Structure 1
Amino acid sequence: MWEILNMIGTIAFALSGVLVAMEERYDLMGIYILGFITAFGGGAIRNLLIGVPVEELWNQGPLFIAAFFVMTAAFFVPRILQWTLLRRGIFFDAIGLGAFSTQGAIYAYSMGLPLSAAIAAAALTGTGGGMVRDVLAGRKPLFLQQEIYIAWTLVPGIVVGLGWVTADIGLLFIVAAVVVLRLLSVQYSWRLPNRMLPPVSEEKYDGS
């Protein structure tokens, strides 16, 4: 299951990076850079957080190769991206969010770390790559958008972190739930409550 989620998340986020790069009219090298950062940035941030050696990232040769071929195919056959039917790579990003947030939670739980670490690992693995992608592309990061985004990573963070679900079929269900919830939050503009400070009235100082 770990390898399956890793492959799903890597391919989905790589395509998400390609889509954003094409929208910003990047050249081929820019597409590769943005795609690789999107696909592997979250895992690198997670490893730093929970104490896994950073060089573990370079032991994922097959994933780098898979991401390279997927990005190359998407560049030369852009119709691959046209079936997403959603703006700004939301579809691929939702799949990556579900797969990588669940994978991050599994990673923390398998290391015997507390619930807080599982929640943080799920959030950073699921959103870290997309965050770096959006910053490099000069966009407002998706997790800061109005629709609910990073909050959905609490689902695998809590459920997996507490050990409630460990079977493969249950983990796949969690991934699917995060993807569906993310897409629904975009479709119906679901938002978390927010509050703004009242404007400060500017009164002229009369010296008295």
Structure 2
Amino acid sequence: MPPRSLLPALALALGTSGCAAISALGSASEPLDIYDLQTPAIEAPARRGWAELVVEPPIASGALSTERIMIRPSPLQAQYLPGARWSDDTPVLLQTLLVRSLAETGAFASVGRAPLGAQGDYALLGELTDFQAESYGTGAPVSVHLRLMLRLVRERDAAVVASRTFEVREPATDDETATLVAAFDQATRRMVAEILPWAVQAGS
């Protein structure tokens, strides 16, 4: 049993610890602003193709496989915007954008996350290596950097029909959350707009 003189100190410490825990719990329950990304404008669908395309979520590191919005103050450091997140994990968010955009081209009989039958005709596989805002050093310019490696694979024989790396940088005027999200949106639109004709041609 602790000496009688330590009891008040222990009680104070326990009380302070309890208050800190309650405070942390309160801040953890504060709602985050949720942001989404839009697909680029698609021209009127052409005659629908015959092939079925399955779009897989791209592989990504643990730092990117989250709904948090990543910022890099240095090449080796990853942080996240406070009080903000994407509407889904980043790889799933990109998968959704690609499914919607590729379906709107009308170049495939169907585009989805899973094949309608036993297997699709083609699978679009990817690896996401960059999806963050960057500003290296005090006063350095801020930009959004996206880099996605894609492979179009024919399902019947697992042959790689086409592969390409898509990389986009979009400048941001400041590091405010709304400005960065707008830069992410613009960068994503540009990248998806580059992916569409490549995937359509490779899968036709």
> Scaled by the length of structure 2, what TM-score is found?
0.31
Query: More helix per residue: 1 or 2?
Result: 1
> Scaled by the length of structure 1, what TM-score is found?
0.31
Query: More strand per residue: 1 or 2?
Result: 2
